[in-house]
A and B are shown apart, each in its own frame.
Chain A
Amino acid sequence: MKRTKSKLSIVVLACAALASCGGPQNALDSAGVQAGRLETLWWVFFWVCAVVYVIVMAILVIAFLRNRRADEKSAPELLPDPAREQRVSNIVKGAVGISIIVLFTLMVLSFRTGRAVNSLSYAESPIEIRITGNQWWWDVEYRDPVPSMNIRTANELHLPVGRPVKLNLQSTDVIHSFWLPNMHGKIDLIPGYETTFFFRPDEAGTYFGQCAEFCGYQHAKMRFAVTVESQEDYEKWAAAQRQVPPPPVDPLQQRGQQIFLTSVCTQCHAVAGTTANARVGPDLTHIATRHYIAAASMHNVHDHLKTWITDPQRIKPGVRMPMNTYAEEDLNALVTYLENLK
């Protein structure tokens, strides 16, 4: 019984290991130059270590299996054979030399990769994005020299293929870490200190990132989604984000807006074009265009929005969003209003 269980768990582990190859959140499936360099370095380390491991294990096994010349009756060897001693010491010296050369090569490779990863910082006209870490969501601001061209959103990035991106990272509470494995390594967000880094998405697709520095109760549900798309699609998205969302047209949406503007929502959230302009929680101006809610931990659909508004503490215990009580029709109207913020 015990044995079948352990066998089963090995199979499950193997499946998990295989399943993690490829996918939208994977450092070994690079979609950018820097992640590509890191991936190459990782594989070099992996193969060097694998070869060294196999050699060491093989020598160990050989040493175990080799017949010993001495048995319990033979006399202890008081004067070692000088020729054999010389041979053994040469082998040891050689092995130390090879180890030094291998380690030194790896170090140089690591240095070179580090420099290559930082080389993009000289790129011209990058997209500038300021990301502010909060417990437990990401505030995203696309910065433009013209203030009216700024975009404010949360937990989701849209980027054009092949254009460098400059991220300015900061935090309002504790240390977070921005990790988009398909593009780059981890960079910390430190309260009171702005960190900057560059990356360039080279392949279209949807990728996921995650906070990589333990930051409290909902650290695991502090995720974000990145959509890399063609230049035209990006321009279209950006133009839409700069617009004020259309005012509600039918009575249901109007009722929803009324509820939104007169209840607790406006204490933390902002919707452009209305009186709601608080900056404590995520900006909801174009929430209907986002694919996820609750920091990319749930799909943005009608029922999820409803549960999220009424009982967020069940989905993300400890989250700053309070529980709310609404009559069924009111909740429906509120969610319908949110679903039309495009």
Chain B
Amino acid sequence: MMSEFKRQHPVAAISKVLTTIKQNFVTIVILLFIGTSNTEGYFLYFLFGGIAITLISGVFSWWMFKYRVDGDELQIKKGVLVKSNMYMSKDRIQVIDITEGVLQRMFGLVQLEVKTAGGGTDTATISAISRDEAEAMRTELRNKRNGNSSSEKDGEIADTEADAQVEDEIISTWKLSTKDLVFAAFTSGNFGLIASILGAASGQMDEFINEETIEYVYEVLPGYNDFTLIVGIVLVIFIISWVLSFLGVIFRYSDFRLERTSEELIITSGLLERKHITVPFDRIQAVRFIEGLIRQPFGYGMINVESAGYDQTQKGRSIVLVPFISASNVSAFLNEFLEEYNEPEYSIKPPKRTLFRYMRRPNYILILLVPIIWYFIEYGWLSLLLIPLATYLGWLQYRDAAVGLGERILRMRYRVLSRTTALVKKKRVQNIESSQNPFQRWKNIQNLKAVAASGAGGLGLEINDLDNEDSFKILRWLVSNPDTNTEANSKTETWSSNQNRE
């Protein structure tokens, strides 16, 4: 038992400085821009002053940060100006995560994060201690809890391979091969990233795109006009973002390993920063197989799980369980790692009369978009080409929408852009909501949304335009008791026979 207060490894001071810089990154960048445009030398003093203050405060905060495990508590003293003492009782500790950041790895250290339920702010982070010590602390904080036998499985406890406890025996392992990693990276087109880069770039556009540069481009590259220039810029941004997301995937999922014990799934991954994530089975709210636009044609996708805090005060999170897996292997994977999640046959599809609605729907946004683009941008009329694309998307959405009702599992497949197949246990479906606008009432159809817990507001799984009867069937299914066979389980029609299965 560690009964005297200890300090962290001095690297914690550097780690603290880096976090401060990271948190204020935007401010610093803005200051740099303003500062460098100002030719007088004052700015440098400010800069060095700022850095010095950060460094000193980093050292001080390292000096003041002391921790120990005493009896049933993790005790932390910290604070330079405002002193604070934090006492965390072992019973309340929910998560113990061990992360190896880049900095920590250079010194053979790890970061230990201890979280309790509630607020979300109750996190004790010991940012630099040796791996052995971290593991010793983890075992100790966890051991006491084993004493209260009942609460054992409630905890989400970060794992390491060197754990000796019996229930942590690894039953099966899944690894991401290098070939798959590269494929995953190739196909990881991240549109969100593109948008954010466009946003960031637009701020700087004025700097780069002015008369002079345009003229320069014209001179250097004869045959360029406005149109090709725009296309060129878009292409460049596209390639840059693609390279970034390629590298992102390589860094995040290198040496990816998923292990299964009797209680939990353990994910270890990362090239520079190694992360260990532990997902206890009893916290899994939903499993999703997501086939991205680029991946689907090759028959690949990724598997996510939603994990919520045990007592619901803790924020849920979406965790990548498998970054890249072929659709044909999903069932085998589920059997091996999540055997409770069987895949019920799809028994409900939107009726044929809704096909036209489906094909129309993605076009509504274009009604607004196309005139604007047409008006403001030269060659904007080219955006009309989006119409067949949107219609095709609508058709895909119609084809992919399907619901399967199992005894205990709800299976929903839908498409926004990527195709998602979600599996939710009946007892994890928080509520089901149907909605019907006047046009739908006329056609006897309605939209359906099942909600699973995940973060604030939950994860909504939505399917449009289901027949009233089918929608009611799903509503009934939700409240039917899984142990007694009720009408919800009897399948009257089987649509799935002519559907492509995964």
Q: Do A and B bind each other?
A: no
Interface residues, chain A, with chain B CB atoms under 8 Å away: none
Q: What is B's interface to A at a CB cutoff of 8 Å?
A: none
